[in-house]
Amino acid sequence: MEELSLPQDSYFLGFDSSTQSLKATVLDSNLNIVNSELVHFDTELPHYKTKDGVYRDPSDNGRIVSPTLMWVEALDLMLQKLSKKLDFGKIAAVSGSGQQHGSVYWKSGSSAILSSLDPKKALVDQLGSAFSVKESPIWMDSSTTAQCREIEKAVGGALELARLTGSRAHERYTGPQIRKIFETQPEVYHDTERISLVSSFVASLLIGSYACIDETDGAGMNLMDIKQRAWSKIALEATAPNLEEKLGKLAPAHAVAGSIASYFVERFHFNKNCLVVQWSGDNPNSLAGLTLNTPGDLAISVGTSDTVFGITKEPQPRLEGHVFPNPVDPENYMVMLVYKNGSLTREDVRNRYAEKSWEVFNKYLQQTPPLNGGKMGFYYKEHEILPPLPVGFHRYVLENFSGNTLEGVNEKEVEEFDHPSEVRALIEGQFLSMRAHAERFGMPSPPKRIIATGGASANQSILSSIASIFGCDVYTVKRPDSASLGAALRAAHGWLCSKKGSFVPISSLYKDKLEKTSLSCKLSVNAGDKQLVSKYALFMEKRVEIENRLVQKLGRW
Ligand code: XUL
């Protein structure tokens, strides 16, 4: 059988419509980055008067929105900038990434505007009256607590909603946002003919008609049955009337949304055969950009907030994380766990116990033994969401802990540890928590491999702790922007699937040649010793027990 490959001398364009900017990454057919570009909203589109890309209204109960038209104008500007350095005629496929959960409300009659755009005019000059809601609610919005509780109640509780849609109700999720619009502005809701996510919104502009919502980003709405990958009747009814017709259909992320609209062919000289592959959310695109693709792949991003992404065949949705369909393989799922306490908490502990120096911090980590002599800590400088616990530090010593059994092991709460042990307890605690929650969400143990990314992944001592706690090899990557890179890669994947006429595993794009592409990873630490991994499993079991008790006493789900 003839092997399918990407057409030589062609490009794959990936966008990322994020909170503060619109970014683009261009890959050639050898999967090397040949171009990138950025439009920064606050400084390059100052007339919208956003700060960090958003409007915050402190008097309005956590409402955070962005002007929808700004995203349109950013696309105008981005294409102008890119046209100066790229031959658009060579782009075989385009895809993109959108900040998750944000929503766009198309006013009745707008599909006609979208399908008859005049290539002599900018998009922004033609879409001014296309939106029934001019300020799109985004992921930072927290104004829908009442709607979250109403929706959870209507479907039989928070856990039931999580099992059905992949997550319990969250303020930023699109379903609660839609319900709020229906409750507070029913006439606006009724005058809306289509609701898009940020991802499907920009895809709609590119194809000149309403694009489907992809199944992966669709799982960030509290509206989709994740097993069926179809809108859930119960969730729709719990949210707002006649909603299904406003959402349109769902499509897998590797599907083609349509060919590029004639507007872009005439105005920017795109090839008329250029395919627009379904856009998806930024976290799913990052997962693709990190080359995670099969069950057992796990990525840990250690940054301002710490995030874990993993792929599994059998997800077990719970209250504390999220399950989305895998954007690069419709047979399985991605699990996402988000921690609020990341770099800032590590910095705080460094300042208190390691002389404000990373060097001292690393030295302490190296000079203390794995399992920390049974010392275990929980460090929340900020209110944590995973688990839901208030600000506070909690320290325990496990007495008689040898690592071989939990029999006869008792924990004693203490006020503080010696300084080196504080550092180890912080690092071990965070990665033990990640391992425990990832396993509870149905991630295979040990993972096949871990890809570490984000600021703290440059720290070799931290990487070694990850390897010995999880028991697998740890790789690192340097990525300028994994979301738009992932989108460009998905554009190539979608192109290949479309040529083949059926799904092709994304790994066939880079098999055997990953190292020669811009997607390469570097093996940084080998899997830790097996005995230690099973000792950590016992340590983790105890941690989960203590964590559950803390949540019962202090937490709020
Ligand atoms: C994920 C989330 C954020 C946004 C950022 O649930 O809300 O990561 O996707 O753009």
| pLDDT score, position 4 | 76
d(CA 421, CA 367): 9
Chain segment 327-371, per-residue pLDDT in tens? 999 999 999 999 999 999 999 999 999 999 999 999 999 999 999
Band of the pLDDT at 1, cuts 50, 70, 90?
A: very low
Question: How much distance in Å is there from the Cα of 271 to the middle of ligand 1?
Answer: 33
Residues 496 and 417 in one domain: no
Which among 367, 419, 433, 422 is positioned nearest to 395, based on CA atoms?
422
Its domain, for residue 158, covers 11-285
Question: How much distance in Å is there from the Cα of 99 to the middle of ligand 1?
Answer: 6
Residue 4 counted as domain residue: no
Band of the pLDDT at 455, cuts 50, 70, 90?
A: confident
538-549 mean pLDDT: 97
172 C-beta closer than 6 A to ligand 1: yes
Q: Tell which atom from ligand 1 comes closest to the C-alpha of 140.
A: 7
Chain segment 204-248, per-residue pLDDT in tens? 999 999 999 999 999 999 999 999 999 999 999 999 999 999 999
Residue 6 counted as domain residue: no
**How many C-beta atoms lie closer than 10 Å to residue 3's C-beta?**
5
Residues 21 and 163 in one domain: yes
Residues 407 and 317 in one domain: no
Chain segment 112-133, per-residue pLDDT in tens? 999 999 999 999 999 999 999 9
Question: How much distance in Å is there from the Cα of 220 to the middle of ligand 1?
Answer: 9
Instruction: Pick the residue whose CA is nearest to atom 7 on ligand 1.
Output: 139
491-522 residues labelled b (16+ CB within 10 A) or e (exposed) = bbbbbbbbeeeebbebeebbeeeeeebbbebe
Residues 174 and 76 in one domain: yes
pLDDT at residue 2 greater than cutoff 60? no
The mean pLDDT of the chain is 96
Residues 134 and 247 in one domain: yes
| pLDDT score, position 494 | 98
Residue 507 counted as domain residue: yes
282 C-beta closer than 6 A to ligand 1: yes
Instruction: Pick the residue whose CA is nearest to atom 10 on ligand 1.
Output: 99
10-38 mean pLDDT: 97
Question: How much distance in Å is there from the Cα of 103 to the middle of ligand 1?
Answer: 13
- Most distant pair of Cα atoms in the chain: their distance: 78
Residue 1 counted as domain residue: no
Residues 197 and 328 in one domain: no
pTM: 0.95
Structural contact between residues 328 and 293, judged by C-beta atoms closer than 8 angstroms:
yes
Residue 5 counted as domain residue: no
What dihedral do alpha carbons 224, 227, 230, 233 form, nearest 10°? -60
Question: How much distance in Å is there from the Cα of 100 to the middle of ligand 1?
Answer: 5
Residue 3 counted as domain residue: no
Q: Tell which atom from ligand 1 comes closest to the C-alpha of 281.
A: 9
473-484 mean pLDDT: 90
Task: Return the percentage of the chain with pLDDT > 90, whole number.
Answer: 93
Question: How much distance in Å is there from the Cα of 279 to the middle of ligand 1?
Answer: 15
Which among 280, 230, 277, 244 is positioned nearest to 258, based on CA atoms?
277
7-27 mean pLDDT: 97
pLDDT at residue 495 greater than cutoff 80? yes
Instruction: Pick the residue whose CA is nearest to atom 5 on ligand 1.
Output: 99
Residues 250 and 157 in one domain: yes
Residues 195 and 256 in one domain: yes
Q: Tell which atom from ligand 1 comes closest to the C-alpha of 220.
A: 6
What would the two tokens of residue 488 be?
């460009």
8-16 mean pLDDT: 97
For 397-428, the three-class secondary structure string (H helix, E strand, C coil) is EEECCCCCCCCCCEEEEECCCCHHHHHHHHHH
Residues 22 and 151 in one domain: yes
Question: How much distance in Å is there from the Cα of 526 to the middle of ligand 1?
Answer: 31
Residues 310 and 219 in one domain: no
Band of the pLDDT at 3, cuts 50, 70, 90?
A: low
d(CA 345, CA 433): 15
Residue 176 counted as domain residue: yes
Question: How much distance in Å is there from the Cα of 281 to the middle of ligand 1?
Answer: 8
CA 399 centroid distance within chain: 40
Question: How much distance in Å is there from the Cα of 138 to the middle of ligand 1?
Answer: 9
Chain segment 284-307, per-residue pLDDT in tens? 999 999 999 999 999 999 988 899
Which among 495, 512, 511, 542 is positioned nearest to 254, based on CA atoms?
495
CA 425 centroid distance within chain: 28
Q: Which of 267, 285, 303 corresponds to the end of one domain?
A: 285
Instruction: Read off the CATH number of the domain in which 248 is found.
Output: 3.30.420.40
| pLDDT score, position 224 | 98
Residues 176 and 231 in one domain: yes
Count: domains in the chain = 3
Residue 277 counted as domain residue: yes
pLDDT at residue 528 greater than cutoff 80? no
283 C-beta closer than 6 A to ligand 1: yes
Band of the pLDDT at 478, cuts 50, 70, 90?
A: confident
Instruction: Pick the residue whose CA is nearest to atom 6 on ligand 1.
Output: 100
| pLDDT score, position 86 | 96
99 C-beta closer than 6 A to ligand 1: yes
100 C-beta closer than 6 A to ligand 1: yes
307-321 mean pLDDT: 96
Residues 330 and 264 in one domain: no
